A and B are shown apart, each in its own frame.
Chain A
């Protein structure tokens, strides 16, 4: 999705990173989604993603959410244009 033109300036999208079960559910490792210039709550952003990709719901249960490299508590926090949002299913490295 292209960045949205807002008030003559380009608003960068939120970059969504998907791993493991989340990536498999959506079929892509990365998405770009627009958010309002004033930002949106992580909870609302997730709800919108789940409306678009209902099959993502099982992968989000037990996952942790990351905004710009920092874990958020539950589904708290906000996203503004240009942020990076990641879904971390339970880890399985090694």
Chain B
């Protein structure tokens, strides 16, 4: 499945397999992970991710279509995990397979940027009980 928002763990080998395409010479896999963040006092041990799942998956499918159109990507992976995730655990996988590396890199970079901007997913540091608006706790 190219698009998924769920509590299921993100398996990198499965994402790579999803991108299999014999005509693609370039495959880019981006993995965003929960990182420890000491900037607001104290260290983040885990983040809680939540999503409005049907709306988020529809937005991801729109990103998939646009990445195919703009960059000629042949295969796409847009997976986001929800729930409580500890530091170091993958929260998002964005992958693109394209005929050449330039298109694959460009597609993956564009998709993760747009995902953060336009997909209804939120992360909360439950320890501090504050939503980390506009900040990047992964990648």
Which residues on A are within 8 Å of B, measured CB to CB?
17, 19-21, 23-24, 29, 66, 69, 86, 88-94
Contact A89 B122 (CB under 8 A): yes
Find out whether the CB atom of A91 lies under 8 angstroms from the CB atom of B118: yes
Contacts A23-B50, A66-B55; A93 near B124 (Cβ below 8 A)? no
Q: Which residues of B contact A21 (CB under 8 A)?
A: 131, 133
With A17-B52, A19-B50, A86-B52 given, is the CB distance from A92 to B131 under 8 Å? yes
B92 contact set on A, CB distance < 8 A:
93-94
Contact of A20 among B55, B112, B131, B138 (CB under 8 A): B131
Q: Is the CB of A93 within 8 A of B80?
A: yes
In the complex the two chains form, what is the Cα distance from A30 to B17 in whole Å? Answer: 37
Q: Among A20, A66, A89, A91, find the residue whose CB has the most chain B CB atoms closer than 10 A.
A: A91
**Interface range for B:** 20 to 34
Q: Which residues of B contact A (CB under 8 A)?
A: 32, 49-52, 54-56, 58, 80, 91-92, 112, 115-124, 129, 131-139
Nearest Cβ on chain A to B80's Cβ, whole angstroms: 6
Known: A66-B52, A66-B55. A90 touches B134 (CB 8 A): yes
CB within 8 Å for A94 and B139 given contacts A17-B52, A20-B50, A24-B124: yes
A93–B55 touching, CB < 8 Å: no
Q: Is the CB of B119 within 8 A of A91?
A: yes
Bound together, the chains give a CA A4 to CA B38 distance in angstroms of 49
Task: Tell me which residues across on chain B come within 8 A of A94, comparing CB atoms.
Answer: 32, 91-92, 112, 115-116, 121, 123, 136-139
User: Which residues of B lie under 8 Å from residue A93 when comparing CB positions?
Assistant: 49, 51, 56, 80, 91-92, 115-116, 119-123
Closest to B118 in A: A91
